[in-house]
Chain A
Amino acid sequence: MPTRRKGPRDRRSAAPRTPAEAAPATEAASADDRPDGAAAPDTPVPGGPAAQSEGIAADLEPLADHGADAPGTPAPADALPAEEPTPAAEPAPAPGRAPRRNALFPLGVNHYPLDAETSGWDDWYAADPEADFAAFAEARLTLVRVFLSWKSLEPQVGQYADAAEDRLQELVEAARRHKLQLIVCFFADDRLAEMLDVPWGRKRDPHTDPYLLQRQTALIQRVVNRYRAEPAIFGWDLANEAFCTGFTSADDLAAWAETMRDAVREVDPDRPVLLSVDPETLFRHTGVDARAALGPSEIAVSHVTAPYRAYAAEGPLTSGPSTYLDSFLLRSASGGVPVLLDDVGVHSLDHSHAEESAAVRTALYSGLMNRAAGVLLRRWRDLDTERREPYFRDPFEVLVGVRDIDDEPKPVMSEVASFARVAARIDLRRYTLVQERTAVLLPAERFEPLPNLASLYDPRACLQAYIAAKEAHVPVTVVHEGDSLDPYSVIVVPSAFSLEDSTWERLSAWVQGGGSLLLSYGGGDAPDIVRELFGVEFLGDGGARATLSCRIAQPDVLGHLTSFDARLDVPSFALLGQAGATVVATDATGSPLLTLNQAGQGRAVLCAAPLERALAQGDPWAPPGAVTALLRTVYAAVASAAGCGAPVACDAPGVELGLFAGEGEDILVLLNHEPATVDVGLVFDRAVTAVADVRGGQPVVVGSTDLAVPLAANGALALRLSYG
């Protein structure tokens, strides 16, 4: 039996980073092996929803319609190539028998209490949940987040409404019947159900008022106490982001979260406690830094909000930076703990079904390929709004679901089903993502208030750097200034205005010890340590220029670069003198543009212009091809020289690769970020003998290191690769 966890895990301690790591292999095996399906869903596994859902997923295994995924499955599952026996105690699904769900990558949905704008607050979960929960199970979901209504549960001070508690009980029972697990969110705002508006609150602020905090604690303890032994509860969510936007200071938020977390822990020391806040989006929205409040969480949450998309990656959902935003925030939110990719779905009904499907497909696969611990869909059913067009504003983004108001599945639903089939076939105990040893560093200045504009420019620049690394097919993640650099071989510091002195010292020592640092000048002065590290004399900022010129001085030192002149508004250009560094490229006047310096055992590459920021502030949907090519070539070359380059060579920059390495065979997931069909040329470092769709089908004999794969517009594909 899995062992119960004794207390909350320190977020910064040796918490698991990946779903596969999150689930101890022996636990997973024992759960899967259980012939009677009694996988003890009442024994939550620490470390995240992936691991948590293990129990429930194992429970479902015997019930799964193995090999009968859905009509339209390319080939019968028994046409799958026979899989290698799993070593040790890690069982793989039997050949030809497909699991319905991925135990380590659960899918879920937010189940909102009201489905119609005309409903009143007292209609909170008034409908019979049976049909919806049956549909959740049918859609291969594992997790369901429900939202408590303080107003319904505690209509009078200290008096709890039996009717409301019965409704909650019905939800729990429905979840149990359908072998689903609930994430119970205590304090949420959804604009419609007035869940927080307790009539006796007398306009006190529920975020800071001591009396209301006391009542909130009492409510939490009442609910948690009632369900502490309930197997259908996965975890406790303190609040959603809409509620947390009401905090005006980081200290208040941290204090509130600590109080509520302690309240849960007093009663239930086992289940994970979440705070459904993406620190990046919340900070952007309110200026409140939630990192301290999130510190002790066992599971982090990331999600894209409409304002954040408008800020960081406005534009079409199906191309450009927007398609990378989910994974960027996912990477950014991980402080060494599993991250739940939350609120997957579009923000409005402005989009066609095709665009909606493409956006959701991109988000789902991005989650899988970027170590999400699971995914929650934004909403199950569209909200039935009052008859007006269009839906003007949706501040809390709760209008659009995967089914329409008549409960008919929208095309996006088939995307979810298709993804679930693919994800179910990727056994994360057997296949692990190639480790990311390249990281984009988000400077601490990002959290400084205005008038420091760095806090506005930096995330955009970091997103561009992240995209460039993705386009170079380098496994990449995001770290914050102050995080440990030890796990990484390459650090990219894109167009930062300034880093703290202590960071420069750490970076210098890290480079001396063998790390590769890639810095693009962000403007202003350069500290002495930078000059030493990069082997250059800093002669000042040459100012803005409208054209970026590149002349290659040392070919093939940083990849195969070519000379160009491109129209790009570059806000700064460092005037550099040589002091030991190799000048790889210059501008049209001979001033160094790219330098490379060997420092100790490591390398320091300096770009004299803030290219990432320039790209972000330009037109990111029509960036100068020469500049993006320069960036990705340099990133690829630096990562490759550091031994952490692209695991598979790919000739399509717009296609993201995720290589899940296994024993004797790998799974390669491809995701097209462009709205156009592309033929992807792949080159492996060893001969691929056969390739097959992970969902099944006849393997195709390859017998070569080269492979060409057609990929539809915004399409995704998961291939099982066998080697000789």
Chain B
Amino acid sequence: MTGRSQQVRLAEGLARQGHVAPAVNACYQALRIDESDPFVHCLLAELMLSGDFYDEAISAASRAIELDPECAPAYLALGLAYDRRGGMWDRSILVWHELAEVVPDLVTAHVQLGEAFAAAAFEEEAIDAWRRALELDPSEARAMYNLAVAALKREGMATALPGFRKAGELDPSQDDLFFSLAGVYDDGEEAPDPADVPPDRKSRIAAAYGLAFEEDYFAAAELIRLILDEDADDAEALGLASYLYLKQEAANEAMACALRALTISTRTPTAVYCLGVAFARRQGLARHAARVFSALAKAVPDEPMPHVLLAESLLALQRFSAARESYLTAVALDPACVRARFGLAAVLFTEGRHAEADWEIRRAAYHDTRRQGLFWALYDEYAEGRS
């Protein structure tokens, strides 16, 4: 087995830094030195894919696979290029099958395989692929969304709604909204040990947010309890308490805390959010959830997530055109919002606009796979295996 040449490493470095044109040039120079280096073709495929030049990506990835049939990153690039280009589902299915064999625990391969099957109208096979993806990673939101869409196509919205709700719960970006509303951002520092937190309200609430951000809900709840022991009418602390209850699936308690917080101060956006989420989790309260999220969307119009949440509650009320408008607003604010894309697809399916719905699902996959950045993980593994 051979390692990578200096020229390949140069191209690789440029590509990792996002310098597409110089990286492409470096790849071509590397090809002049050794046309049969799969690394270069593989890199070239990824670079072309990053510019949405699918035919070029297909050509380069195919060549890489031809040179080394074990080149997993090339399969990934090839499959993604087929899928993003569209209309090549037969080939795409083969590629994802291959990749699933080369890297059996690669969840994305199964999700993509399912989407390729679905696009090719092999619904049963698609469902099997998504279920396999969820077996590998139960938190794979896109597989769950796809299953919900499949249920929607077969049995209608009523059957599909729990699936959409569950998929939404897997979406970590919803938590980002809570922390954004609270003004908490990831500063890269670890949350303090609860034992080391100074006994003042400011330190405690800051530490509680930090711990909640790191998903240490029990420690955060301890600090909140200390704050509320000193001041039971601390709206902000109640808002965070509500969030912590939500994370522990205690919707009733979350609702109570949020309502209490809002009774004390209506200007507690975190409590508004938690109340809406709690309503949305309880069957029959979608109308209340819609009202709450509508208020939240008006309060923070530039955030896509409140529009998504509003759209989801409208979807539950079967108010499809209003849901579509909210989803569209969310997509306009954040074209990479996978959750909004799938929701929009669901609405479009119910309206019989299948091609547009399929397009939204493809777009969701596009953004999701770009966000994952799987290529470099596979590339590094592949490089390690060859060295």
* Residues in A lying within 8 Å of B, measured CB to CB: 284-285, 306-307, 310-311, 314-318, 347-348, 350-352, 355, 389-390, 392-393, 450-451, 453, 456-457, 544, 617-619, 621-622, 625, 675
Q: Complex formed: what's the CA distance from A456 to B48 in Å?
A: 10
* Distance to closest chain B CB from A687 (angstroms): 38
Point out the residue from A352, A390, A618 that lies within 8 Å of B353, measured CB to CB: A352
Judge whether B121 and A389 touch: CB under 8 Å. yes
Q: CB-CB < 8 A to A675: which residues of B?
A: 356
Q: Complex formed: what's the CA distance from A351 to B354 in Å?
A: 8
Closest to B29 in A: A451
Identify the 3 closest CB pairs spanning chains A and B, nearest first.
Answer: A619-B335, A451-B28, A392-B90
Judge whether B332 and A622 touch: CB under 8 Å. yes
Q: CB-CB < 8 A to A316: which residues of B?
A: 355-356, 359
* Distance to closest chain B CB from A355 (angstroms): 5
Judge whether A352 and B352 touch: CB under 8 Å. yes
Judge whether A456 and B359 touch: CB under 8 Å. no
Q: Complex formed: what's the CA distance from A450 to B55 in Å?
A: 13
* Distance to closest chain B CB from A385 (angstroms): 14
Q: CB-CB < 8 A to A457: which residues of B?
A: 51
Given contacts A351-B355, A392-B90, A393-B88, 11 further A-B contacts (CB under 8 A): A310-B54, A314-B86, A350-B355, A352-B352, A352-B354, A355-B356, A456-B56, A618-B335, A622-B332, A622-B335, A675-B356
Q: CB-CB < 8 A to A621: which residues of B?
A: 335, 363
Q: CB-CB < 8 A to B331: which residues of A?
A: 622
Chief secondary structure at chain A's binding surface: loop
Q: CB-CB < 8 A to B56: which residues of A?
A: 450, 456
Q: Complex formed: what's the CA distance from A621 to B359 in Å?
A: 11
B interface residues, how many (CB within 8 angstroms): 33
Q: Complex formed: what's the CA distance from A348 to B335 in Å?
A: 26
Q: Please, could you name 23 A-B residue pairs with CB atoms under 8 Å apart, sorted by A?
A: A306-B87, A310-B55, A310-B86, A314-B84, A314-B85, A316-B355, A316-B356, A316-B359, A350-B355, A352-B354, A352-B355, A389-B121, A450-B28, A450-B56, A451-B25, A451-B28, A453-B24, A456-B53, A456-B56, A457-B51, A621-B335, A622-B332, A675-B356
Closest to B348 in A: A316
Q: CB-CB < 8 A to A625: which residues of B?
A: 332
Q: Which of B331-387 contact A (CB under 8 A)?
A: 331-332, 335, 352-356, 358-359, 363
Q: Does B52 contact A (CB under 8 A)?
A: yes
Q: Complex formed: what's the CA distance from A348 to B88 in Å?
A: 11
Judge whether A617 and B89 touch: CB under 8 Å. no
Given known pairs A310-B86, A622-B331, A622-B335, the reply for A453 and B355 (CB within 8 Å) is no
Point out the residue from A350, A393, A451, A617 that lies within 8 Å of B24, measured CB to CB: A451
Q: CB-CB < 8 A to A285: which residues of B?
A: 55
Q: CB-CB < 8 A to A617: which residues of B?
A: 51-52
Q: Complex formed: what's the CA distance from A56 to B172 in Å?
A: 67
Chief secondary structure at chain B's binding surface: helix
Judge whether A347 and B87 touch: CB under 8 Å. yes
Q: CB-CB < 8 A to A351: which residues of B?
A: 355
Q: CB-CB < 8 A to B352: which residues of A?
A: 352
Q: Which of B41-62 contact A (CB under 8 A)?
A: 51-56
* Distance to closest chain A CB from B79 (angstroms): 16
* Distance to closest chain B CB from A450 (angstroms): 7
Point out the residue from B24, B120, B355 that lies within 8 Å of A317, measured CB to CB: B355
Q: Complex formed: what's the CA distance from A574 to B277 in Å?
A: 46
Closest to B331 in A: A622
Q: CB-CB < 8 A to B158: which residues of A?
A: none
Q: Does B20 contact A (CB under 8 A)?
A: yes
* Distance to closest chain A CB from B83 (angstroms): 11
Q: CB-CB < 8 A to A619: which residues of B?
A: 335, 363
Q: Complex formed: what's the CA distance from A284 to B54 in Å?
A: 12
Given known pairs A393-B90, A619-B335, the reply for A355 and B85 (CB within 8 Å) is no
Q: CB-CB < 8 A to A352: which residues of B?
A: 352-355
Q: Does B316 contact A (CB under 8 A)?
A: no
Closest to A625 in B: B332
Q: Mark B18-40, 1 if CB is under 8 A from A, else 0.
A: 10110011011000000000000
Q: Complex formed: what's the CA distance from A310 to B90 in Å?
A: 17
Judge whether B120 and A390 touch: CB under 8 Å. yes
Q: CB-CB < 8 A to A451: which residues of B?
A: 21, 24-25, 27-28
* Distance to closest chain B CB from A620 (angstroms): 10
Q: CB-CB < 8 A to A350: which residues of B?
A: 87, 355, 358
Q: Complex formed: what's the CA distance from A284 to B121 in Å?
A: 30
Point out the residue from B25, B51, B86, B355 that lies within 8 Å of A456, measured CB to CB: B51
* Distance to closest chain B CB from A619 (angstroms): 4
Judge whether B87 and A310 touch: CB under 8 Å. yes
Q: Complex formed: what's the CA distance from A524 to B352 in Å?
A: 48
Q: CB-CB < 8 A to B120: which residues of A?
A: 390, 392
* Distance to closest chain A CB from B301 (angstroms): 14
Q: CB-CB < 8 A to B121: which residues of A?
A: 389-390
Q: Complex formed: what's the CA distance from A453 to B356 in Å?
A: 30
Q: CB-CB < 8 A to A618: which residues of B?
A: 335
Q: Complex formed: what's the CA distance from A26 to B341 in Å?
A: 58
Q: CB-CB < 8 A to A347: which residues of B?
A: 87
Q: Mark B114-140, 1 if CB is under 8 A from A, else 0.
A: 000000110000000000000000000
Given known pairs A393-B88, A622-B331, the reply for A307 and B55 (CB within 8 Å) is yes
Judge whether B85 and A310 touch: CB under 8 Å. yes
Point out the residue from B51, B90, B359 that lies within 8 Å of A453, measured CB to CB: B51
* Distance to closest chain B CB from A498 (angstroms): 12
Q: Complex formed: what's the CA distance from A285 to B355 in Å?
A: 25
Q: CB-CB < 8 A to B358: which residues of A?
A: 350
Point out the residue from B54, B55, B87 that lies within 8 Å of A393, measured CB to CB: B87
Q: Complex formed: what's the CA distance from A521 to B359 in Å?
A: 32
Q: Complex formed: what's the CA distance from A456 to B56 in Å?
A: 10
Q: Complex formed: what's the CA distance from A259 to B84 in Å?
A: 41
Point out the residue from B21, B54, B88 that lies within 8 Å of A311, measured CB to CB: B54
Q: Complex formed: what's the CA distance from A152 to B234 in Å?
A: 89
Given known pairs A316-B355, A352-B354, A619-B335, the reply for A311 and B53 (CB within 8 Å) is yes
Q: Which of B291-344 contact A (CB under 8 A)?
A: 331-332, 335
* Distance to closest chain A CB from B286 (angstroms): 26
Point out the residue from A315, A317, A392 that lies within 8 Å of B89, measured CB to CB: A392
Q: Complex formed: what's the CA distance from A355 to B357 in Å?
A: 12
- Most B CB within 10 A of own CB, among A350, A544, A621: A350
Q: Complex formed: what's the CA distance from A348 to B119 in Å?
A: 13
Q: Complex formed: what's the CA distance from A451 to B24 in Å?
A: 6
Closest to B120 in A: A390
Q: CB-CB < 8 A to A307: which residues of B?
A: 55, 85
Closest to B60 in A: A450
Q: CB-CB < 8 A to B353: which residues of A?
A: 352, 355
Q: Complex formed: what's the CA distance from A618 to B331 in Å?
A: 13
Closest to A317 in B: B355
Judge whether B20 and A453 touch: CB under 8 Å. yes
Point out the residue from B21, B24, B88, B359 that lies within 8 Å of A315, measured CB to CB: B359
Closest to A616 in B: B52
Q: Complex formed: what's the CA distance from A350 to B89 in Å?
A: 12
Q: Complex formed: what's the CA distance from A316 to B358 in Å?
A: 9
Q: Complex formed: what's the CA distance from A227 to B88 in Å?
A: 42
Q: Complex formed: what's the CA distance from A675 to B51 in Å?
A: 27
Closest to B28 in A: A451
Q: Complex formed: what's the CA distance from A675 to B284 in Å?
A: 34
Closest to B358 in A: A350
Q: Complex formed: what's the CA distance from A393 to B21 in Å?
A: 32
